[in-house]
């Protein structure tokens, strides 16, 4: 477990509601904020960075458009866990998902949805969208159908 986080598994119903809200926000003008270059990537093998992953999977697309489409395609079966950042208790929790691309590439997806500004325009922060450093195993996905 990384320093300063608390992990929990939400119920299938909570995740279905979360995904529904996420899709509603994305379809109603939510902004996607994608960190292509991150400080944590400085010491990371390039293959596991957001930038490399998005450029590899969606070479001819605007990254934000590609991510919007991919986030809209998330399902409860892709859910892994929910992470609370205890260093920033006021910030919303992050949800972690995993998807397989090209039937072989495991991609780890971590997102946080927050309301911005006085009128609460939702923004979706895509913290992570990168090839998984450890291969996915079935037990990582509480709601994946066997």
Question: Does 48 reside within a domain?
Answer: yes
Alpha helices, DSSP H, located in the chain: 12-27, 50-57, 63-72
Question: Does 96 reside within a domain?
Answer: yes
Rounded to whole angstroms, how far apart are CA atoms 57 and 53? 6
- Alpha-carbon 83 to chain mean position: 11
48 lies in which domain range?
5-140
Contacts of 24 (CB under 8 A, 6+ apart): none
Question: Does 56 reside within a domain?
Answer: yes
Question: Does 146 reside within a domain?
Answer: no
The reported pLDDT for the residue numbered 1 is 47
Rounded to whole angstroms, how far apart are CA atoms 92 and 114? 6
The reported pLDDT for the residue numbered 14 is 96
CATH number at residue 14: 3.30.2310.40
Question: Does 9 reside within a domain?
Answer: yes
Cα angle 23, 29, 33 (rounded to 5 degrees) comes to 85
For the chain, how many structural domains are there in total? 1
- Alpha-carbon 117 to chain mean position: 22
Q: What is the pLDDT along the chain (146 residues), one digit of tens a residue?
A: 456 779 999 999 999 999 998 998 899 888 898 877 777 767 788 899 999 999 999 999 999 999 999 999 999 999 999 999 888 888 889 999 999 999 999 999 999 988 776 666 778 889 899 999 999 999 999 999 87
The reported pLDDT for the residue numbered 118 is 63
């Amino acid at each position: 477990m990384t320093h300063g986080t608390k992990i929990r598994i939400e119920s299938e119903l909570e995740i279905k509601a979360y995904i529904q809200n996420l899709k509603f926000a994305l379809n109603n003008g939510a902004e996607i904020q994608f960190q292509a270059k991150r400080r944590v990537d400085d010491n990371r093998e390039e293959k596991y960075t957001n930038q490399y992953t998005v450029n590899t999977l969606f070479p001819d697309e605007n990254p934000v458009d590609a991510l919007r489409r991919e986030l809209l395609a998330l399902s409860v079966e892709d859910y892994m866990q929910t992470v609370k950042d205890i260093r920033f208790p006021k910030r919303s929790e992050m949800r972690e998902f995993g998807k397989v691309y090209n039937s072989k590439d495991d991609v780890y997806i971590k997102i946080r949805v927050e309301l911005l500004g006085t009128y609460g325009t939702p923004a979706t922060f895509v913290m992570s969208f990168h090839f998984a450093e450890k291969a996915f195993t079935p037990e990582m996905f509480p709601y994946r159908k066997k």
